[in-house]
Amino acid sequence: MGKKSETSNGDSKKAPKKALKVRKSVKSEAAAEPKKKAKTAPREVKPVSVRETNNAVKPPTFEEIQLQAYFIAQKRVKLGLPGNSDTDWIQAEKELLAARVA
């Protein structure tokens, strides 16, 4: 336990314990402080054209192609040009896609 010391009259007493200094460990200090984020350079912002923002061109619907193919067929028959419904359909798809991209 504690050390015994003798006083001038010969009585033995326990020596008072010295107060221990409590030191914070390095880990507890690190845990107490919030972590700092490393500063990074801002990213370069490059201008974006209208075409780059609309990369996902929606394909024409079935009804839109059907209507366009009908008008192509009417014109083809009236002018007596060769072709059939399949070629009219393919031409209608191409025309509608070209109109959406441009």
Tens digit of pLDDT for each residue in 41-100? Answer: 777 766 655 555 556 789 999 999 999 999 999 999 999 999 999 999 999 999 999 999
pLDDT at 71: 97
> What pLDDT score does 67 carry?
97
For position 25, what pLDDT does the model report? 56
- HSE-CB of 10 using CA atoms within 13 angstroms: 0
39: which 2 tokens?
Answer: 């500063």
- pTM exceeds 0.85 for this model: no
C-alpha closest to that of 66 among 91, 101, 83 = 91
